[in-house]
Structure 1
Amino acid sequence: MESFAYKDIQNQEKNHWWFKARREIIREKLNKLNIKKDSTILEIGCGTGGNIPMLKKYGKVYAIEMDDYAIEISSKHNIQIKKASFPIENPFENKFDLICMFDVLEHIENDIVALEQIKKMLTKDGILIITVPAYTWLYSTHDKFLHHKRRYTLSKIESLVKNKFEIYEKTYFNTLLFPAIVIARFIDKIYPKENSLGYKTPNKIVNFILFQIFRFEKYLLRLISFKFGSSIFASFKNKSS
């Protein structure tokens, strides 16, 4: 993704309802894992660093990112960042207790190789957390604009991690807004355009309403797992060979 796009993403990560609510849901899931305070944490594809302040509350954070501009912005959070395109050999000397890929796996050409490499980078009981977009039939101009290679289902995720990881938790999310998202993605299919529906931050009132609806899911997810939604959350424990 070009640097000019990352400049836009920096603003999106800070203000857009989707990024803000997703962070709250991820934080809720991180709290549930009871991560030890001295954990080493790696974020693969940290972008402009929107998740780094959250992750720093759980341990020492490292990151991998491919874009120079994004690295420059993320470095302001005072963490170690290596420039690389994943999958690669571990560019750090240490292994990690927690590795996070927040809507990154869908950007990687060979996701199987990526997961195999991540397994090598985790400690014996290390945890991997991913979020990915759901359902191939929702693939549209929106995904092409964001350079997505694919979308996933929970069954597909399960098949990818089989014999590599033990599943802690799996659920769809962004469920309450799912009907509206389906409509938006089908409009993208019928009337494709470079700036797809849902990418730009809407006006403050709409942004606030969408944020409140989406973030409410963190309370529901304490009680249930969603059977459908536009995104998938999954956490895994490193499985001994």
Structure 2
Amino acid sequence: MSDALPYTVVEGIRCFSPEVASSYADYPDDGFDLTDKSGESSFWVRSRNRLFKKIVQNNLVTSHKTKFLEIGCGTGGFIQKIVENENLEITGSEIYLKGLLYAKKNLPAVEFVQFDVTKGVIGEAFDLIVAFDVLEHIENDVAAISNINKMLHEGGRVIVTVPQHMFLWSQLDEIVKHKRRYSRRELVTKLQENGFDISYCTSFLFVLFPLMLISRMFDKGRSQSKSDDLALGKRVNFSKILNWIFDCFMRIDEALIGLGISLPFGGTLVVVAKKC
């Protein structure tokens, strides 16, 4: 791509947006530590990885290896679930260097780049781009969607997930520096207006939605006296038994979505779209 951003190499990683690599303006830096340490113990992380892996597998190119990019890969947790798929040529990108250093340590054979997707494109074109729980951290999400479209081959696909329903807004959204929670109409419209046709759209975290709603209502009224990293850990860490119970309920969501059902509401919105 002739309009690709220039890059510099920092700690062995190509940095296309080095000016923001250590700013942590849109995500708490302690979040990477927490994810790397305890991500696999979380029912939410396990469930989303299972579901997203299946959706990725359903959207691979059949004629050749799928050139794959994850926007906002964090510490590389999802890529670890798909790295053994020989039909994928994987690149992981993250705006913050701290997450990439964890990812590179965990997956030394994978190509990782530092990149602010609102600022332009990198010099490659992809068949499939995913952005899992990323757009809500970005002030100019329209620029991000537009640049994702530019980095796709004709007919390429994007898989996007975002937190859903502004009435669920709570202190947790503020701690992790969300800019918004989305309605289905808002995300679908933004994708359509930036060169995408919608292939599939569903809510996720459907069965557990009543518990999530109650939890968020209590969280709105909770006083914030602890540091953000301690408060974040308290809100996302559960006992082993609760993680096991919630994991079982999440498998119902996964099964329904696997049947092609579009769930009407839930804490997360999942959209698969094709470049026009």
TM range (shorter): over 0.9
Structure 2: unaligned runs, 5 residues or longer: 1-26
- For residues 102 and 198 of structure 1, the distance between their equivalents in structure 2, rounded to whole angstroms, comes to 22
In 2, are the aligned partners of 1:41 and 1:55 still within 8 Å (CA)? no
Highest Rg: 1 or 2?
2
Cα-to-partner distance string for 1:51-97 (whole Å, 9 max, x where unaligned): 01223325011121122221111113121111122313222x32010
- For residues 184 and 146 of structure 1, the distance between their equivalents in structure 2, rounded to whole angstroms, comes to 16
Match of residue 40 from structure 1: 67
Match of residue 70 from structure 1: 99
Range 57-66 or range 129-138, more displaced: 57-66
Residue 198 of structure 1 deviates from its aligned partner by 7.1
Q: Quick check: 1:131 aligned with 2:168?
A: no
Residue 103 of structure 1 deviates from its aligned partner by 0.2
Match of residue 218 from structure 1: 254
In 2, are the aligned partners of 1:24 and 1:215 still within 8 Å (CA)? no
Match of residue 202 from structure 1: 238
User: Which AA in structure 1 matches 2:190?
Assistant: L
- For residues 73 and 204 of structure 2, the distance between their equivalents in structure 1, rounded to whole angstroms, comes to 21
Matched ranges for 1:173-184 at <5 A: 173-184=204-215
TM-score when normalising by structure 1: 0.92
Matched position secondary structure for 1:149:
coil
TM-score when normalising by structure 2: 0.81
Q: Percent identity?
A: 29
Q: Quick check: 1:146 aligned with 2:176?
A: yes
User: Which AA in structure 2 matches 1:101?
Assistant: A
**Residue 72 and residue 196 in structure 1: after superposition, are their counterparts in 2 closer, same or farther (change >3 A)?**
closer
| 2:116 aligns with one of 73, 80, 85 | 85
Range 208-217 or range 97-106, more displaced: 208-217
Matched position secondary structure for 1:24:
helix
Which segments of structure 1 move beyond 6 Å, counting only runs of 4 or more?
none
- For residues 180 and 116 of structure 2, the distance between their equivalents in structure 1, rounded to whole angstroms, comes to 18
Match of residue 233 from structure 1: 270
Between Structure 1 and Structure 2, how many residues are aligned?
Answer: 238
- For residues 30 and 220 of structure 2, the distance between their equivalents in structure 1, rounded to whole angstroms, comes to 25
Residue 196 of structure 1 deviates from its aligned partner by 5.5
| 1:49 aligns with one of 76, 80, 99 | 76
Q: Quick check: 1:168 aligned with 2:205?
A: no
In 1, are the aligned partners of 2:28 and 2:175 still within 8 Å (CA)? no
Q: Quick check: 1:16 aligned with 2:42?
A: yes
CA RMSD of aligned residues (A): 1.7
In 2, are the aligned partners of 1:41 and 1:62 still within 8 Å (CA)? yes
**Residue 32 and residue 5 in structure 1: after superposition, are their counterparts in 2 closer, same or farther (change >3 A)?**
closer
Matched position secondary structure for 2:77:
coil
Match of residue 103 from structure 1: 133
Matched position secondary structure for 1:25:
helix
Matched position secondary structure for 2:258:
coil
Cα-to-partner distance string for 1:177-208 (whole Å, 9 max, x where unaligned): 00000011111111143426973321111111
- For residues 212 and 152 of structure 1, the distance between their equivalents in structure 2, rounded to whole angstroms, comes to 26
- For residues 53 and 244 of structure 2, the distance between their equivalents in structure 1, rounded to whole angstroms, comes to 19
User: Which AA in structure 1 matches 2:39?
Assistant: E
